[in-house]
Structure 1
Amino acid sequence: MNLWKKKLSRLVAAVVFVGGAFISVPAAQAMSDTGWGVAASAISGLIAYKSSLSMMLDVGNNAAYQQQSLWQDIKANGTDRNARDVQVVDGVMARLTQPDVFVLPADALPFSWHVNDDPLFNAACYPTDFIAVNRGLVRILDDENEIAAVLGHEMTHGLAHHSAEVYAKTMATYYGLSLLNMATGVMDWQQLMKLTVYSSSKLFTLPTEYEADAGGFRIMARAGFNPGGGAAAMARMGAYLREQSENFLEYQDPDEKKKENYNDHPDTELREARLMEQLTAYSAGHVTVKDRKTVCIDGVPFLEGAFTAEDYDNTAESAYLYAGELGRLFHDYASPVGWALDAAGDWEHAKAPLLTAAVRQQNLKAELVRLVTAAYAGEAATGARQKLEEAEAKERAELAAAYDKAANATASQTKRMRENSDRYSDAGDAEKARLMIDRALASPNLDDHAETLGIKGRALAVAGDFAGGLACADAACEEDPANVYNFLNRADIYWMQGDRLAAIGSATQGVAVDERNATARLMRAMLYDEEGDQANALADYRAFYDLAPKAAERIPDEYLKEIDADAYDKVVKARADAEKAAAEARKKEKEENTAGTSKDTKENTGKDGTKAKTVL
């Protein structure tokens, strides 16, 4: 059981330490030899890369930090109070996170998400597989297929550990260039920082955006969404940022792509074109869109995008959604039979509601039958279907290999799964706690079966299954009676159930196993206190203080005062100082927000061309 919560400030401190470590290195006159300087630069960069990557991967696989990511988003951006926004995102993510849609690596957390109250058009994936979705994005896209493409994009960032990789490569670049600069003196530090940022944006982040677009397409298509949603989302985003947004944080100059900049995202129209190319391949090469308007089958115009929006030209957006439904049908059926083209009356298909309506309204059934029949008839000559099947077989093989790797998690990975399950139970998230502990139990390389079984008991109890939880906990205690935490997990289940006497009994068994275990002493002290047994509570709190004097703040004031009056005074003072600092921080933040709102209002009313980039 995990009674000790790690603070995110440790992560911040670690990042600051890594970022600031170089500053303390003295100028290296000894590196006057340029050859040695280059070699040292490469070694420094490699060390920085490995250490930074290891740190970020560790952070990303910690459920406590994932919870911190959520709290950070809520603190910074609030929570969307529109139930429909939340319902749409929850529904999309529920489909995207089905087990057969993607493979969760053994060193990753299950996805978590939150719809915040930020009106900007944006979404972002944290290293912890937490996805922050701005309400502005949900409102502006307003189509589940386009939203699915964006969220699939963010999921790909998480699955591929893009944040960790980019951070590590950026740190390696900074360290390497810094050491080389000390040897050669070719640039000043301001130039060095600019070069590092530019290199990171163009060489590291930019490629991951293309990879995330491609991965997002595959995820959302496997989940059953319209595969044209990605290109449609790019078209909608481009139109919004160019023509509609009045917020200076979103506005994008159409000529910006002609200028040198530090942007770490590809040009929107280029992303749109790439996603359409992926859709064409997905359709066995049959479906294309000409001039962002005309949907073609084997190059023959069939249908044009409809201009239906009131405040912007959505022709390209609708063309891509039509193309997506056509692509889905060509992908899913190896012959025209699955299209139900021979049915009497108007043509309709459950997988193509938009196309069904357009064909009916424009009387295009005969043309659809002609073009689709001809397309399939020509596949033997072009090899289009064979190419698609080969690509699909390769993708299935890659997925199978990924599933196999995840199922055979290493001993260290199963240990982290167990720890993360415990952290999810601490946070009351029974679903993720069960998911993580079941993954650990399923691995043939499980490092500690008994303790894992006990932690599964906690997860079941958090879900309300106390009988199942106690059965697991009893089995864990019987299998390994030398592990104090097996007894503490069972005690916690009794505690959740409201049976404090049974909880005290199990905790006492844990103390008997290890009298110097601080967690056991603290847990039993808390139970005695709740039971009103102050004498025994004081004895255990005293034992806890002896074992962990630096954790004195965990002891209630009335007990700590009696155990160590000086420690009590220090805790009270520290608490007051913290409350004062927090109040001052809130006051400062309020003043800055007020000033910022005033500044934003002035800048938004002027047309000065100020620009900022989205994280999407």
Structure 2
Amino acid sequence: MRKTAAAMLSVLVIAAAVLLPPARAEAIDAWGIAAQALGVLGAYHSALGAVLALGNDVHAQVQSKRQDVAENGRARNARDIELVDSIMERLVKDGDYVLRVNSLPFTWAVTDSPVFNAACYPTDYVSINRGLIRGLNGNVDELAAVLGHEMTHGIRQHSAHNYAKAAAQFYGLSFLNMNFGLMDWNKLNALVGYSIAKNVTLPTEYEADEGGFRIMTSAGFNPGGGAAAMARMGYYLTYVTQELQEYQDPTQKDLPQDDFSDHPATERREAKLAEFMTDYSAGHVTVIDRKTICIDGTPLLTVTWTNEDYDNSPENAYLTAGALARAFHDYDRAEDWNLALTRDGGATLGGDSRVNELLVHFLAKERAGAQLISLVHEAYAREAETGAREKLRAEEKARADARAAERSEVENADAKAIKKMRENSDAYSDYGDSQRALALMKRVFTSEHDDSRAQSFVIRARAYAVQGDAAQARADADRGVTDDPKDVYTWLNRSDVRRMLGDRTGALSDALKAIEVDAKNPYGYLIAAELYDEMGEKAQAQEYFKKLYAVEKDALGRIPDEYLEAVDKRAYEKRMMEKKKAREAHEKELREQLDKKSRPTDGSTD
């Protein structure tokens, strides 16, 4: 469910097809072959580095979101937005994962697109279409599985690595074709597309399915949500969708789709996610024929429809089985389930009532409460022989150890990486996003390789000021200045913090101190000039705008019109002329639009 990488790869292939000649190239010597091999490697590293850098740029992340919303519109249904926000916030906060040192915190938006899709951009921006929410009937656990899938693409930086591998494959095959003339270029493009889909994108989709399962279950969602989402998706894309591009022909379901698509066949994904659910239950819970739930192979109950519009039995089966899987996973003894028979022949159990809702419903409907209690006790009794629980815990420990190693790698990142985190935090504060700014600073403060703890304190102070925590902002800002009074940026940032908190006098004092520490840094002059202007001291503002311009000619754009004429008259006249031209062009455009609207629709001029 990723549209960004596919679009990028399409551009790459099309561009390369245009740039590379269709004629056969002359044979080359061994040195030429070696150079071409290095070229392929260079293409890989160049593409990888470019996309990874993009993914670690807050401004690019913000633009990703803005462009997506501009293209697809912002969702208008407040409940859809609230639903996605609640799921994503829970996945981000409670999910068990580790962001890489050069990754940004996740951000997301719900768009107004009717297409059944979600996507994770290289910048860790997750786009969720309203079509996906409608298609999954707003089911919390199914959405959590899909969004966890998208988060895994971001965590594993799939877009960057897939793009780089695709570039290398294309150039490698192109070089071979130029050398040996193996096929025409149209066939080559088709071969490249096939190779990328099968060898690059497809494996990462399977990885994202598993990663999404791990994230959503660790955040407390129903382990059957992933398989249920695939069951629903298969039905929706075949019988409901009005979008031709996403329609799935039911007669093609038995074909080996993995060989022709960059996404696994829906049925295979459903089966694989059901396996994850079974493994999560220590092997106890399975679903047969997409409707009968078994414990250790013995049928417990068979689910039925609960939707008037279509047969949603498969979804019900997986979500009901998922509740059992969570209980088997979370409880080491049958007694911990707190099972109790009900008067209607069903049973109740401990845990999350939302996750257990369908299970409780079908236990009562099928009067299967006593059967459940019996099967649960028998299942735990057999674990001593099978070692199923020890195996489950060993596998989980192995995954936990792997995440601990990833976390250690982040904490031991070099000073350059930590500095970039600090810069990204500062950028989030510029955008008014204190939550993500503070999240990054938390990572910075866990590192032993921070090359300027004083700067980290003042950058975190800015984030606290944006959040509205004045006391913590002042404390951090003061600490930064105290720790390194010779660093101009500690004074500049404390000045900004004081300014945000309404202390103009203190902010001005710090700006002037920054100029004293480093007279060549333009920001002290800029802040002082703006503060004098805000305080109504026009003469002083004029003076410091002049000083700013003397230190940094490129700061011209930061000088307001009322001060620019005295600073640089020619620059002022040029700006006024540009504004006049822009105004006249805008007025002309408005007149043309009005004239067009006033014309008769039949084209007559009478």
Q: TM-score, normalised by structure 2?
A: 0.87
Does 1:157 pair with 2:161?
no
Deviation at 1:99, TM superposition (A): 5.1
Deviations 1:92-140 (A, max 9, x none): 1122112563223322211111111112211111111111111121222
Distance 1:370 1:575 in 2: 82
Deviation at 1:298, TM superposition (A): 1.7
Deviation at 1:269, TM superposition (A): 0.8
Counterpart residue number, 1:330: 328
Counterpart residue number, 1:269: 267
Distance 2:77 2:25 in 1: 62
Deviation at 1:357, TM superposition (A): 1.9
Contact kept, 8 Å, 1:40 with 1:179, in 2: the verdict is no
Distance 2:96 2:582 in 1: 46
Counterpart residue number, 2:558: 554
1:104 equivalent among 94, 99, 102: 99
Does 1:176 pair with 2:172?
yes
| Aligned pairs for 1:57-456 within 5 A | 57-98=52-93, 101-141=96-136, 142-256=138-252, 258=255, 263-341=261-339, 346-351=346-351, 352-456=356-460
Distance 2:450 2:101 in 1: 12
Counterpart residue number, 1:597: none
Deviations 1:459-518 (A, max 9, x none): 111111223212221221222122111111111112112222321211111111222212
Contact kept, 8 Å, 1:418 with 1:437, in 2: the verdict is yes
Distance 1:374 1:519 in 2: 72
Q: Report sequence identity in percent.
A: 48
Does 1:522 pair with 2:522?
no
Deviations 1:294-345 (A, max 9, x none): 2122222222232121222211111111111111112122232122346675
1:482 equivalent among 468, 476, 486: 486
CA 1:17–1:245: 2 relative to 1, 3 Å: closer
Worse overlay, 270-279 or 460-469: 460-469
CA 1:581–1:87: 2 relative to 1, 3 Å: farther
Distance 1:24 1:567 in 2: 42
Worse overlay, 566-575 or 552-561: 566-575
1:66 maps to a residue whose letter is Q
CA 1:18–1:242: 2 relative to 1, 3 Å: closer
CA 1:534–1:24: 2 relative to 1, 3 Å: farther
Worse overlay, 36-45 or 89-98: 36-45
Distance 2:14 2:484 in 1: 44
Distance 1:435 1:516 in 2: 33
2:133 maps to a residue whose letter is V
CA 1:22–1:307: 2 relative to 1, 3 Å: closer
Distance 1:18 1:194 in 2: 10
Distance 1:513 1:224 in 2: 53
Deviations 1:48-75 (A, max 9, x none): 1112212211211122222112211221
Deviations 1:136-191 (A, max 9, x none): 21222121111110111111111111111111111222232333333333344444
Residue 128 of structure 2 aligns to a residue whose secondary structure is: strand
Distance 2:581 2:183 in 1: 45
Alignment size in residue pairs: 575
Structure 1: 5+ residue stretches without partners: 1-11, 587-616
Residue 97 of structure 1 aligns to a residue whose secondary structure is: helix
CA 1:381–1:411: 2 relative to 1, 3 Å: same
Worse overlay, 207-216 or 462-471: 462-471
Worse overlay, 320-329 or 292-301: 292-301
CA 1:185–1:580: 2 relative to 1, 3 Å: farther
1:218 maps to a residue whose letter is R
Contact kept, 8 Å, 1:197 with 1:262, in 2: the verdict is no
Residue 400 of structure 1 aligns to a residue whose secondary structure is: helix
Bigger relative contact order, structure 1 or 2 (CA pairs below 8 A, ≥6 apart): 1
Contact kept, 8 Å, 1:34 with 1:184, in 2: the verdict is no
Structure 2: 5+ residue stretches without partners: 1-6, 591-606
Counterpart residue number, 1:40: 35
Worse overlay, 222-231 or 514-523: 514-523
Contact kept, 8 Å, 1:243 with 1:312, in 2: the verdict is no
Question: What is the aligned-residue RMSD (CA, Å)?
Answer: 3.1
Worse overlay, 262-271 or 20-29: 20-29
CA 1:551–1:196: 2 relative to 1, 3 Å: farther
Residue 427 of structure 2 aligns to a residue whose secondary structure is: helix
Deviation at 1:400, TM superposition (A): 2.2
